[in-house]
Structure 1
C-alpha cells in the first residue's frame, strides 16, 4: 500500500498514455479547437448582429407595416364617417325641428278643434 502523498504507478502510467495520445493527435485537436473557436466567433457575431438589428428595429420611431400600408385608406374612411355623422347630425336637427313644428301645429289644431267643439 502507498503512503499518503505518494502516487501509485498506475496513475502515472495512465497520464503518460493520455499525454502520448494527445501528442499523436495534436494536429487533429488543434484543428478541432480552431473550428470551435471560429464557430464561437460566428455565433457571437450573429448574436451581436441580431441584437443590434433588434435594437435598431425597436428604437426607431417608425409606424408598423399595417399602419403605413393602410394609413391613407383608414384616414379616408374615417373622414367619410365623420362627414356622415355630421350630415346625420344636421339631418337629426332638421328632423327634430320639423317634429317640433309638427307637434306645435298639431297642438294648435287640437286646441282649435277642442274650442270649436265646446
Structure 2
C-alpha cells in the first residue's frame, strides 16, 4: 500500500518539556523509526497476525497463559504505537481492516483448500 500511496505523519513533538532517560529513549525511537509509510500500521497488523496464529496453534492451545499473554501484548503494542505518536487511530483502523481482509485467505478450513474429488 505504501509503495503505491506513500504517506507520512506529523504528530511528533519537536521540543520535549523534560529531559530524562525515558525522553531520551523516545528520541532514539524517533530517530530510528521515521513517521513515513505509516498507513496501515505494520506494527498493528503484525501484532494481530501473531495473536491469531497463536490462537490457531494446536500446540499452544494447551498453554492458555501464552494465548492470553499474546492478546495482552498485542493490545499494549497497538496502544504504545499511538501513545508514542508513531501511528494515528486511522493507521490502526486500516491495519485492523487489512487483517480482517487477509484472515480468510490464511485460515480457511482444510476442506476448502483440498481439491474436490
Higher relative contact order (CA 8 A, sep 6+): 2
TM category, shorter: under 0.3
Structure with the greater alpha carbon radius of gyration? 1
**TM-score using structure 1 length:** 0.22
Structure richer in helix, relative to its length: 1
**TM-score using structure 2 length:** 0.22
